[in-house]
């Protein structure tokens, strides 16, 4: 979000001036009177409302929507945009008219990074996306696949608990953010590539770079003719990172191709599953001849990594932060788990379904900290009138899931407070029926990894609080823990969470 560079601003002023001249002499203003647009703040030439978004757009947009309403117009550069900020409006756009808004806008970052948007998350609505999504849902995200990868989660978590036990003995301060991120990376890479560690390259660093680039506010997406100047240097950076990532993915795929025939004992991973359809058609509708090639596989893999690691890790960090701030909630949660599991063994995945309070803690965390605060932008596929407002084809639609989860009209005056009990009579299943909290989005484009994401998040939180008591270091009092967020493709904590563990089980067996 650092587009407020002086050079950029200077360029803006220059272009603004040129634009005025251009408008004045060549294009006398035309008004369309019969098409009512949703209300919104006034705009500047060229940049429209881009300048008002600020460092935390989800917060800015929330306060703007209080003034202009739950369906609001913004002009982001040249892109007409609608911001949705209430659960009722979200239901109308993501359920009633879901099919109209089931596409994604083309953005430069994903175009450069995912081989011309050949992955899933950023590709436009159509037979390709439908086929890829259907295939992945069936072969990678099904309940049986989620279960199949269970042993990987156990293995990685066991290793971490042992190292945390050591830290506890020494009374060390643990960088919780770091260990959680490393854990999730290990789990996800093992599940996708068959192994977690690569000596030759720093996968984590590359993925972080790619995420930062895709999450950056790229002027080229909003003022296309400025794109050629690459004022922010994003185009160059994208090309560089995508080249490095491509080499990594190539290596991983080649490695799989070479071992598939020889090593039958190896467990199947995502790459194997995707390779099994290489050069085959996956078109489920017979509309087109959709053949999967190497590029598609790389693009899909990249999307999976970007969509799974930081979403799960960030959710866990926020949950642990809130538990550290609310000892009452922490105690109830630890008691719930201990009542089922006792204090002699670790939590196992099959225990999870018995933990109602854990579900509430996770629902409450996702309500307050939906890691994709603005989901992933949608694009209107055909002009439509909703609630009396005319929305033109190609309009970008941004859903402020963050604001929806904190809406006082729905969640009462204490909407900003962490209070899991509010979910006692409100079972969330994120399958597109509830709109009061939509951390996974909704409709055709909703997150296909919900089950996988939730099981990772719940297992890690349960294990962390069951095996350890946690205390804040440096005499930080719970009420003083900094809870500020950063904005990007996800909203992680602005400051890394640190805490001191103490082991609380009698005699755990790590078999």
Ligand X SMILES: *[C@@H]1O[C@H](CO)[C@@H](O)[C@H](O)[C@H]1NC(C)=O
The residues that touch ligand HEM, with contacts defined as CB under 6 A, are 120-121, 133, 303-304, 307-308, 311-312, 315, 371-372, 375-376, 439-442, 445-449, 452-453, 457
Shortest Å, Cβ 180 to ligand X:
10
Among ligand X, ligand HEM, none, residue 190 binds (CB under 5-8 Å by kind): none
Q: How far is the CB of 187 from ligand X (least distance, A)?
A: 17
Is 172 or 387 the residue whose CB approaches ligand X more closely?
172
Stretch that binds ligand X, among 130-138, 171-179, 243-251, 257-265 (CB under 6 A): 171-179
Residue of minimal CB distance from ligand HEM?
A: 441
Tokens of 308: 């799974």
DSSP secondary structure of 193-260? HS-S--SS--HHHHHHHHHHHHHS--HHHHSGGGGGG-TTSHHHHHHHHHHHHHHHHHHHHHHHHHHH
Reported as half-sphere exposure (CB side, CA atoms, 13 A), residue 287 has a value of: 8
Which strands form 498-503's sheet, in the order they lie side by side? 174-175, 498-503, 468-471
496 binds, among ligand X, ligand HEM, none (CB under 5 to 8 A by kind): ligand X
Separation of alpha carbons 245 and 239, rounded Å: 10
Annotated binding-site residue? 447: yes
Which strands form 71-76's sheet, in the order they lie side by side? 71-76, 79-84, 396-399, 378-379
Residue nearer to ligand HEM on the CB measure, 112 or 456: 456
State which residue, 333 or 438, has the beta carbon closest to ligand HEM.
438
Q: Residue 427: is it exposed, middle or buried by C-beta count within 10 angstroms (0-12/13-18/19+)?
A: exposed
Q: Give me the least distance between CB of 175 and ligand X, in Å please.
A: 4
Smallest gap, in angstroms, from Cβ of residue 231 to ligand HEM? 28
Shortest Cβ distance from residue 232 to ligand HEM (Å)? 25
Q: At what angle do helices 176-193 and 203-215 cross, to 10 degrees?
A: 100
User: 401-460: which residues touch ligand X (CB under 6 A)?
Assistant: none
Write phi, then psi, for 401 (nearest 5 degrees): -60, -30
Q: Is 178 in the site for ligand X (CB under 6 A)?
A: yes
Q: Where are the beta strands (DSSP E) in 367-504?
A: 378-379, 384-386, 389-391, 396-399, 468-471, 498-503
By CB under 6 A, tell whether 177 contacts ligand X.
yes
Tell me: does residue 175 bind ligand X (CB under 6 A): yes
Closest approach, Cβ 496 to ligand X, in A, equals 4
Distances (CA, A) of 431 to 58, 143, 343, 406: 24, 14, 34, 20
- CB nearest ligand X: which residue? 178
**Which one of ligand HEM, ligand X, none is in contact with 375 (Cβ closer than 5 to 8 A by kind)?**
ligand HEM
Beta-carbon neighbour count of residue 265 at 10 Å? 4
Closest CA relative to residue 405, chosen from 424, 423, 389: 423
Taking the least distance from each CB to ligand HEM, the nearer of 317 and 336 is: 317
Is 496 among the residues that bind ligand X (CB under 6 A)?
Answer: yes
Q: Which is nearer to ligand HEM, 368 or 505 (CB)?
A: 368
Near ligand X in 247-266, by CB under 6 A: none
Task: Measure the N-to-C terminal CA separation of the chain; round to a whole number of Å.
Answer: 47
Known binding positions: 447
Known binding positions for heme: 447
> Contact residues for ligand X (CB under 6 A)?
175, 177-178, 496
């Amino acid at each position: 979000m650092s587009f407020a560079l002086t050079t950029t601003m200077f360029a803006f002023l220059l272009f603004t001036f040129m634009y005025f001249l251009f408008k004045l002499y060549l294009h006398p203003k035309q008004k369309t009177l019969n098409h009512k647009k949703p209300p919104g703040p006034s705009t500047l030439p060229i940049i429209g409302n881009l300048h008002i978004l600020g460092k935390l757009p989800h917060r800015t947009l929330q306060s703007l929507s209080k003034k202009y309403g739950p369906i609001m117009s913004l002009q982001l550069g040249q892109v007409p945009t609608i911001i949705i900020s209430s659960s009722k409006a979200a239901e109308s756009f993501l359920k009633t008219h879901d099919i109209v808004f089931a596409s994604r806008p083309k953005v430069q970052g994903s175009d450069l990074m995912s081989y011309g948007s050949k992955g899933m998350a950023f590709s436009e609505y159509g037979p390709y996306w439908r086929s890829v999504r259907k295939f992945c849902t069936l072969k990678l995200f099904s309940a049986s696949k989620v279960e199949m990868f269970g042993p990987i989660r156990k293995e990685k978590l066991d290793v971490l608990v042992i190292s945390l036990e050591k830290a506890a003995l020494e009374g060390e301060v643990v960088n919780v953010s770091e260990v959680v991120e490393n854990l999730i990376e290990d789990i996800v890479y093992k599940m996708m590539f068959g192994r977690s560690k690569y000596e030759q390259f720093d996968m984590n660093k590359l993925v972080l770079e790619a995420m930062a680039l895709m999450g950056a506010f790229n002027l080229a997406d909003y003022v296309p003719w400025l794109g050629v100047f690459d004022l922010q240097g994003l185009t160059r950076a994208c090309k560089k990172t995508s080249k490095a990532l491509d080499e990594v993915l190539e290596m991983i795929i080649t490695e799989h191709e070479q071992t598939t025939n020889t090593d039958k004992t190896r467990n199947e991973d995502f790459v194997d599953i995707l390779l099994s359809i290489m050069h085959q058609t996956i078109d489920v509708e017979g509309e087109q001849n959709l053949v999967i090639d190497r590029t598609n596989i790389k693009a899909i893999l990249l999307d999976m990594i970007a969509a799974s690691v930081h979403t799960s890790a960030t959710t866990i960090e926020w949950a642990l932060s809130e538990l550290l701030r609310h000892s009452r909630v922490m105690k109830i949660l630890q008691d719930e788990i201990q009542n089922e599991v006792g204090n002699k063994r670790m939590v196992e995945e099959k225990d999870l379904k018995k933990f109602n309070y854990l579900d509430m803690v996770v629902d409450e965390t996702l309500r307050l900290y939906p890691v994709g605060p603005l989901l992933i932008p949608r694009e209107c596929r055909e002009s439509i009138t909703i609630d009396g407002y005319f929305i033109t084809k190609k309009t970008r639609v941004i859903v402020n899931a963050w604001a929806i989860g904190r809406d006082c009209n729905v969640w009462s005056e204490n909407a900003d407070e962490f209070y899991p009990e509010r979910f006692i009579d409100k079972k969330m299943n994120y399958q597109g029926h509830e709109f009061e909290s939509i951390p996974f989005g909704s409709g055709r484009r909703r997150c296909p990894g919900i089950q996988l994401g939730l099981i990772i998040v719940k297992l890690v939180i349960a294990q962390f609080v069951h095996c350890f008591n946690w205390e804040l270091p440096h005499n930080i009092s719970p009420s003083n823990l900094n809870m500020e967020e950063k904005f990007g493709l996800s909203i992680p904590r602005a400051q890394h969470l640190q805490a001191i563990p103490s082991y609380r089980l009698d005699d755990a067996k790590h078999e």
